[in-house]
Amino acid sequence: MPIRKATIYTPSPRGRSGSAGAGKALPSQPAGAPKADAPVAGNATAATPRAGPRRRLQALLWAGFGALVALAAMLAVTALQPQIRLITQAQIDAAVRHSLEKDPLPSRAMKAYSGVARSVVRVVGLMDENDDALERPDKMAMERSLGTGVVIKDDGTILTNLHVVWGAKRVRVTFANGHESEAQLVGAQPENDLAVLKANSLPDDLEPATMRSTGDLAPGDEVIAVGHPFGIGPSVSSGVVSGLGREFRAPEGQQALTNLIQFDAAANPGNSGGPLVTMDGFVVGIVTAILNPNEQRTFVGIGFAVPIENAAGAAGMAPF
């Protein structure tokens, strides 16, 4: 009769809820070590409440340390930056006065002259074909006519007064840089006492003047007159526009000049044909006459200029 052996069962860990594996250590767990998810006996209640406040304290300490570092960096940057200084109006005024005393601004008349300086020429009408002694003043009254001109085109076109060159056998012009040249009479406008010259040779630095309409010119506007009074020049005098639309008849003249600009900048014989210039350096007229109640031919405070519109027309240039 066969002997029945007792069946041996190997207890399964899943089959028992907690006691089956109590006496045996799992392969990944040292023998006698507590389970990972089980609290240590006697410390379960104390460890849990202390973990949260400790982390919060550490976070606060790190935050405070970061704030201190940021504050130190900000203070360092501020210390390196220049300090902003408040400036008062009195200090500004004092600085401006000091600057002007050290380096004064150029006058308005000087700035106006700089705009035409290279364009102004000395004009001499020679009554003798053989006269080359341009610097002999003893012959000026009888055998020469002295005046001024202004270059208006870079081809050497020059505006002057007709009475400066009328009857001359030869005309010579001297440019701002000293260059001398013969010039030809190429146009005339007797009703405005205007003449147009063309120089035979030109300097390298020739610079024609810039002309401006007289449409917005008004009494009281500042102007300068540039020329060679009595052969001295170039000379600059400043004044204002005294009036517009004036009429003038020279004692020896048969025809009255009309629509003239009246000005009070000093002008004398030799200024004739020179430019009347605004403060921005633009030519608005050609000086043509001075009022002389006596026979001494000296300036008494009233000069006349032909508007540049008329002068440009004499040179064949389109009106403004």
Residues with catalytic roles: 163, 193, 272
Calpha distance 177→204 (Å, rounded): 9
Dihedral Cα 299, 305, 311, 314, nearest 10 deg: -60
282 contacts 115 by C-beta, under 8 angstroms: yes
Calpha distance 24→37 (Å, rounded): 17
Helix (H) or strand (E) holding 283: strand 283-290
267 contacts 314 by C-beta, under 8 angstroms: no
Could you say which DSSP state residue 77 is in?
Answer: H
Helix (H) or strand (E) holding 94: helix 89-102
90 contacts 259 by C-beta, under 8 angstroms: no
Could you say which DSSP state residue 107 is in?
Answer: P
280: helix, coil or strand?
coil
Q: Residue 212: which residues within 8 A CB-CB, separation 6 or more?
A: 278, 280, 282, 283, 284, 308, 320
- In this structure, the chain runs to a length of 320
Helix (H) or strand (E) holding 61: helix 44-80
**Residue whose pair of structure tokens reads 């001359």 in the numeric block:** 168
Q: For residue 114, which phi and psi values (nearest 5 degrees)?
A: -60, -25
What's the token pair of residue 289?
């006459």
17: helix, coil or strand?
coil
227 contacts 290 by C-beta, under 8 angstroms: no
**Across the strands, what pairs with 289?**
304
